[in-house]
Chains A and B, each alone.
Chain A
């Protein structure tokens, strides 16, 4: 096979941060490249990964996990986070989900007052106000400006609040979103996206998956690349099934 284009996808901490099927996002990015004859290589960035490998990546994905796992990640990223910060500021696109999304913010305040420092790349904070506060769980749909209606599934204890200059990814139609109060869901900073949406998010939201791929290719090849259209019949059917569950029109 002769490929003219190639992408390197970095999957951050698949061993530790992969609790909710977020593996599906990587599969989706990879397959949607393959189907267009774009060579896609996935680098798994596990504990003790080298900064050299991280720098090779054109696109990043990091999923959610449990608290213990997040502590281990936090320890491992110590010292390497400045490179990640630099890449995000430089516009390397990425999608950061749930725990990873919280992690990019300023801090996470636990119910007992304990403060876990974040990477301070996204201007947001997360808190869990009460011990045994209700987890925000269920199917989720939210409207975005650039990627249409996004459908997914959320499951989080923390409530996230965005800083004044940080744009939300979208506005909740059904579900809770960032905090269940202000109607916002997720955040967009440069070409990076933070969201609470599992599901996983990318298979059923091909517009978003393709937008990430296009951004990564445009940036790498310093030009505007037109992605050939794919047959998204099943994607559409799966979206409609969720919409029906939520009694909304999409």
Chain B
């Protein structure tokens, strides 16, 4: 039965590629799960594969890529699920793609990127050997509901996994709390270095209340949003001791990428990968699709920073503004993968951009909402940005107005990132 489903799935995959259907990455999985609801469990339990799940709001794709690079450098056979297609259908689809025609998987590790809201569903179907939880921020409330309800759902589900090793972010109170009172082995990553500290008041913070008793948490130090060194003044719950707080080399810029790197390195160490191998893998690292990815067009350097919610947007802006940017294109879409609610742009600190000498180009389905947000972030009531209704034109002009020795930074939401990449590589992705 199983191998038949794999075969059917592979056929669908082939057809959707030939016909160039955009949804090819999740369709075969969708069909496989319709034919056998326990398809994932059936396939994976038959193999000797160790399963690593990576979940959280921000940084999943980058963490998967980092860990994959390290494990591959150590000579392990790895398979990961398609970038972006991180729902159950996506997991099933990648199993179909990676199986041989007999429905067997010849790999040592599988790394799956799992959406925060799909996690309970996925762990019903497979018991991971390792579970990495990065953070929990507000993202796409229109689709997922609110952060607290996701955290509660996680907590009740995590308690059911006894053999899983947990790799948790100690600096995110709700994530750290997942590790309290469970029998499984728990490892924590976090930061102690004062240089990452921020003094900005961040209104978009999601969990300033104690995950155990509801009291307002005290923060000795904030790194960004609600991540930091925290303690509950009432029940005494506090940031757990760290198993890792730094590593020798960070391949990506920005504090959030430091967390992703620490999560990957800690996991690799638990698996037993040698320090030298880890360091080599990190220095050779190439970023994932749209995540600080660099492209060259007309001899000009362009760097993409996928920015999909207030936290990732603020962190991207902070990282970019440290590099003395001259040209910046922001693209805001409100399609299903982006989240149809764009109100979060008002929690982004655009003020850190508009009062510098940066050429700003704006585009996307909701370009006027973006323009309005920027208008309200200016010191005086003046025009300091160009608005484009057409994305092709925006990219063309932004590239042409970038001086040869400068870089064009692009901050797109998810579907905008795919569109921009399509334009830059000359192949439009629909």
How many Å lie between the Cα of A165 and that of B377 in the bound state? 40
> B280 contacts the other chain (Cβ, under 8 Å)?
no
Contact indicator A234/B340 (Cβ below 8 Å): no
> B404 contacts the other chain (Cβ, under 8 Å)?
no
List residues 330-364 of chain B with CB under 8 A from any CB of chain A: 334, 340-347
B contact residues around A21 at 8 Å (CB)? 310, 343-347
Size of the B side of the interface (Cβ < 8 Å), in residues, is 38
A contact residues around B365 at 8 Å (CB)? 241
Contact indicator B346/A68 (Cβ below 8 Å): no
Contact indicator B142/A241 (Cβ below 8 Å): no
> B52 contacts the other chain (Cβ, under 8 Å)?
no
> B123 contacts the other chain (Cβ, under 8 Å)?
no
> A238 contacts the other chain (Cβ, under 8 Å)?
yes
> B376 contacts the other chain (Cβ, under 8 Å)?
yes
Chain A-chain B contacts (Cβ-Cβ < 8 Å), number: 102
> B244 contacts the other chain (Cβ, under 8 Å)?
no
Contact indicator B147/A66 (Cβ below 8 Å): yes
Contact indicator B340/A200 (Cβ below 8 Å): no
Name the one of A15, A19, A153 contacting B146, with C-beta atoms under 8 angstroms: A19
B contact residues around A15 at 8 Å (CB)? 203, 205, 208, 216
| Dominant secondary structure at the A interface | mixed
Contact indicator A155/B341 (Cβ below 8 Å): yes
Q: Tell me, rounded to whole Å, the shortest Cβ–Cβ distance linking B150 to chain A.
A: 10
B contact residues around A28 at 8 Å (CB)? 376
A213-250 contact mask (Cβ, 8 Å, vs B): 1 or 0 = 00000000000000000110011011011000100000
Size of the A side of the interface (Cβ < 8 Å), in residues, is 41
Contact indicator B209/A72 (Cβ below 8 Å): yes
How many Å lie between the Cα of A169 and that of B3 in the bound state? 60
Q: Tell me, rounded to whole Å, the shortest Cβ–Cβ distance linking B384 to chain A.
A: 13
Of the 9-residue stretches B261-269, B294-302, B367-375, which lies at the interface with chain A? B367-375
> A71 contacts the other chain (Cβ, under 8 Å)?
yes
Q: Tell me, rounded to whole Å, the shortest Cβ–Cβ distance linking B337 to chain A.
A: 16
CB-CB nearest in chain B for A69: B209
How many Å lie between the Cα of A69 and that of B344 in the bound state? 18
Contact indicator A235/B347 (Cβ below 8 Å): no
> B422 contacts the other chain (Cβ, under 8 Å)?
no
Contact indicator A24/B373 (Cβ below 8 Å): yes
B contact residues around A18 at 8 Å (CB)? 203-204, 347
10 A-B residue contacts at CB 8 Å? A20-B343, A21-B344, A21-B345, A138-B142, A153-B142, A153-B343, A200-B343, A204-B369, A238-B371, A240-B368
Interface residues, chain B, with chain A CB atoms under 8 Å away: 138, 141-142, 145-149, 203-206, 208-209, 214, 216, 310, 334, 340-347, 365-369, 371-373, 375-377, 381
